[in-house]
């Protein structure tokens, strides 16, 4: 037996940080919140970021989530250098490549759960019928399809979190470019 054809495909790096630094300045005060963070997250990997209060977890997540720019270092997201993107391209990358579940959920109070989940697809210009179908599919996956027309004020904290998870998964493509439909339902 030869090795050729027997080896599994190499895992694809999705997040690659090299020597990331973040400096906050307030007038004369300069504070170095990140001092050279290097991290690689492969496709399909689950990573938990842990550290004492004030150690820079939020700062790092804001950099990874393209909500803030690093002061130095290199960041490649799904193989693309994102440190040089302009604001429009950053907004597009946030919409297409990143899903966020915020601690406080940040659901839109006046919109239904279905409309909340649809939001990333509205920004991406996906036609209404398709985005409704996708959002409903995601609500089904988190067990909330029967509450699609409820508002955030009518559901529990755990249910809000599930809606936020569904919204975070609701992007036009995943970082590597494919939409994975739910398995057929009986
Ligand atoms: N906008 C800012 N201006 C100046 N300093 C900041 C700013 N944001 C955060 N910091 C400082 O940077 C450091 C890292 O903050 P960060 O919020 O990333 O920590 P954290 O690990 O998420 O903390 P916690 O677990 O308490 O939420 C802290 O010392 C904080 O005071």
Average pLDDT over residues 87-101: 89
Average pLDDT over residues 121-128: 88
Query: Smallest Cα–Cα separation from 41: which of 81, 75, 14?
Result: 14
Query: Is the interface score ipTM higher than 0.95?
Result: yes
pLDDT at 123 over 50: yes
pLDDT score, position 83: 93
Residue 43 contacts residue 9 (beta carbons within 8 Å): no
20, 29, 56: residue to mutate for ligand 1 pocket, most atoms within 8 A of CB: 56
Q: What domain range includes position 63? A: 13-97
What is the rounded CA–CA span in Å between residue 181 and residue 126? 16
Task: Convert the pLDDT of each residue in 33-47 to its tens digit.
Answer: 999 999 999 988 999
Confidence of residue 97 (pLDDT cuts 50, 70, 90): confident
Residue 165 contacts residue 142 (beta carbons within 8 Å): yes
In a domain, 2, yes or no: no
pTM listed for this prediction: 0.80
What is the distance of C-alpha 74 from the center of its chain?
Answer: 19
Answer with the one of 44, 68, 97 that is the final residue of a domain.
97
pLDDT score, position 173: 64
* 125 & 142 share domain: yes
pLDDT score, position 7: 53
CA of 31 to the centre of ligand 1 (A): 10
pLDDT score, position 33: 97
CATH code at position 29: 3.40.50.300
CA of 91 to the centre of ligand 1 (A): 23
pLDDT at 51 over 60: yes
Average pLDDT over residues 132-140: 92
Confidence of residue 8 (pLDDT cuts 50, 70, 90): low
* 115 & 87 share domain: no
pLDDT score, position 1: 41
What is the rounded CA–CA span in Å between residue 6 and residue 114? 45
pLDDT score, position 126: 87
Share of the chain above pLDDT 90, in %: 67
In a domain, 113, yes or no: yes
* 137 & 80 share domain: no
Residues with C-beta less than 6 Å from any ligand 1 atom: 24, 26, 31, 33, 51, 53-59
CA of 94 to the centre of ligand 1 (A): 22
Domain total of the chain: 2
Which residue's alpha carbon is nearest to atom 24 within ligand 1?
Answer: 53
Answer with the one of 97, 115, 135 that is the final residue of a domain.
97
25: helix, strand or coil:
strand
What is the rounded CA–CA span in Å between residue 98 and residue 168? 8
* 124 & 135 share domain: yes
* 89 & 39 share domain: yes
* 58 & 120 share domain: no
* 62 & 82 share domain: yes
CA of 69 to the centre of ligand 1 (A): 15
In a domain, 48, yes or no: yes
* 131 & 52 share domain: no
Which residue's alpha carbon is nearest to atom 28 within ligand 1?
Answer: 54
Under 8 Å CB-to-CB from 150, ≥6 apart: which residues?
A: 112, 113
In a domain, 34, yes or no: yes
């Amino acid at each position: 037996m030869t090795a050729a054809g027997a080896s599994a495909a190499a895992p694809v790096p999705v997040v690659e940080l090299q020597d990331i630094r973040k400096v906050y300045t307030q007038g004369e005060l300069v504070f170095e919140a990140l001092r050279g963070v290097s991290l690689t997250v492969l496709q399909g990997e689950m990573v938990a970021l842990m550290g004492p209060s004030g150690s820079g977890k939020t700062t790092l997540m804001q950099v990874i989530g393209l909500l803030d720019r690093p002061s130095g270092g290199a960041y490649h997201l799904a193989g693309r250098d994102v440190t040089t993107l302009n604001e429009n391209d950053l907004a597009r990358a946030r919409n297409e490549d990143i899903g966020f579940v915020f601690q406080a959920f940040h659901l839109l109070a006046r919109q239904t759960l279905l409309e909340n989940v649809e939001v990333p697809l509205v920004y991406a210009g996906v036609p209404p019928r398709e985005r409704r179908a996708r959002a409903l599919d995601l609500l089904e996956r988190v067990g909330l399809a029967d509450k699609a027309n409820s508002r955030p004020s009518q559901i529990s904290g755990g249910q809000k979190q599930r809606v936020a998870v569904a919204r975070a998964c609701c992007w036009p493509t995943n970082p590597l470019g494919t939409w994975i439909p739910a398995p057929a339902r009986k």
